[in-house]
Amino acid sequence: MKTTIAKLNEHVGEEVTIGAWLRNKRSSGKIAFLQLRDGTGFVQGVVVKSDVSEEVFQTAKNMTQETSLYVTGKVVEDSRSSFGYEIQVSGVEVIHAATDYPITPKEHGTEFLMDNRHLWLRSQKQHAVMKIRNEIIRATYAFFHENGYTKIDPPILTGSSAEGTTELFHTKYFDEEAYLSQSGQLYMEAAAMAFNKVFSFGPTFRAEKSKTRRHLIEFWMIEPEMAFVEHEESLEIQENYISYLVASVLKNCKLDLEILGRDTEKLAKVTAPFPRITYDEAIDLLKEKGFDDVEWGEDFGAPHETAIAESFDKPVFITHYPAEIKAFYMKPDPNREDVVLCADLIAPEGYGEIIGGSQRIDDLELMEKRYEEHNLTGDAYNWYLELRKYGSVPHSGFGLGLERTVAWLSGVEHVRETIPFPRLLNRLYP
């Protein structure tokens, strides 16, 4: 019977055939251990010389790394293996013999592995990270659909920028100038006025000259936008969403977390509610921690975020940033005009800002004033202003960076390992 490694538990005691690749192999004169993978999982095949024909044993013994094959054998439970099963091999049929596979079981440098990303994806750790990414995507759709949100797809090619013009990728759109989307937010605001609660999930592009463990040029963002929701309620939605993601990964990615050596006790503490501190309190906290150079009105860098996160064992919201360092659309605090109703959610363990969000300006006059201050002239933003003309309502939204979230939950150091084919400052290959 043809099956996959993920389904071996349904076939204990039976003879099965799986299509697989050889990861690694150990053999002596009498026995060969084949480390197999088929994309759904990892399992060991045991070939005992006295149980098979000489031809099968020699084929198994001489097989090279990443050779593809059909392997047939009996499924047995094996408590020593973390996968729980083993195959007692009775037959092997080589599909394609691989020669000189570049990624050997020895250690390789990161640049080498990145150049071979198309192959590196096959490795156990990279597989585990992608499965965690997949689970976060699955849980995202589940959470928002369960809570009455409609998935809306904003455009990728745009005529306007959401987060400022310095990091835009320019492209020609026939005779017009266009950009690759930095954020779908402005379009999601239009969608919220049509569908009440919406979310998007798509690629975004930032021509950022940042070469850090948290920055990608192309990354994926989840952007919910909610009509009739103000700042405080938006924070509750965010903490519930993040708690849901963490619980889903803990429940459905046990083996992946184990392969990555992730400390799951730290993740288990991530339950709503999350602590909230204001930007002002964050400045005080940083001063206490010896950051004497922080000045009110400056944005926080990675070392600041990491220092703040160290004071909490859950993600922490930093709220009420100075208006001057935040985007033009954020609503000022009615009690204090120099700060805005916004929050960045900082992940624990140094993974940095995973969410940026805010309540949006819903007043037409104030938005017109912001347009002037930010030089948003021309027709590209007319439609966005019109949202404030026809039945404007309080609304809020946020953007979760998928790759930073994957990095945090997987415990991998750098976001380049959290997306199948990373686009970095100096990398467009493969």
Q: Which residues bind Mg ion (CB under 5 A)?
A: 356
422 counts as binding ligand 4AD under rule CB under 6 A: no
Of the pair 73, 422, the CB lying nearest ligand 4AD is at: 422
What is the C-alpha to C-alpha distance for residues 278 and 194, in angstroms, rounded to an integer? 32
Of the pair 12, 325, the CB lying nearest ligand 4AD is at: 325
Of the pair 86, 225, the CB lying nearest ligand 4AD is at: 225
Q: How far is the CB of 352 from ligand 4AD (least distance, A)?
A: 7
Q: Which of 332, 256, 260, 326 is nearest to 297 (CA)?
A: 326
Stretch that binds ligand 4AD, among 24-32, 74-82, 99-107, 399-407 (CB under 6 A): 399-407
> Which residues are paired to 332 by β-bridges?
340
Residue from 348, 356, 411, 422 binding ligand 4AD (CB under 6 A): 356
357 counts as binding ligand 4AD under rule CB under 6 A: yes
What is the C-alpha to C-alpha distance for residues 125 and 342, in angstroms, rounded to an integer? 36
321 counts as binding ligand 4AD under rule CB under 6 A: no
- Determine how β-strand 85-96 pairs with β-strand 42-48: parallel
Of the pair 67, 161, the CB lying nearest Mg ion is at: 161
Strand stretches in 181-319, DSSP E: 197-205, 218-227, 276-278, 316-319
The SS3 assignment for 171 reads strand
404 counts as binding ligand 4AD under rule CB under 6 A: yes
239 counts as binding ligand 4AD under rule CB under 6 A: no
Task: Tell me the per-residue interface mask from 130 to 169 with ligand 4AD, x by CB under 6 A, - otherwise.
Answer: --------------------------------xx------
Strand ranges of the sheet holding 218-227, from the earlier edge strand across to the other edge: 150-151, 197-205, 218-227, 395-401, 352-359, 342-347, 316-319, 276-278
Residue from 65, 67, 158, 185 binding ligand 4AD (CB under 6 A): 185
Cβ pair 395, 198 in contact under 8 A = no
Q: Which two tokens stand for residue 285?
A: 């906290």
Q: DSSP secondary-structure letter at 427?
A: B
221 counts as binding ligand 4AD under rule CB under 6 A: yes
Of the pair 61, 414, the CB lying nearest ligand 4AD is at: 414
The separation between CA 143 and the C-alpha centre of its own chain, rounded to angstroms, equals 16
219 counts as binding ligand 4AD under rule CB under 6 A: yes
List C-alpha distances in Å: 158 to 155, 189, 239: 7, 15, 31
Residue ranges in contact with ligand 4AD by CB under 6 A:
162-163, 183, 185, 206, 208, 215-216, 219, 221, 223, 353-357, 397-399, 401, 403-404, 415
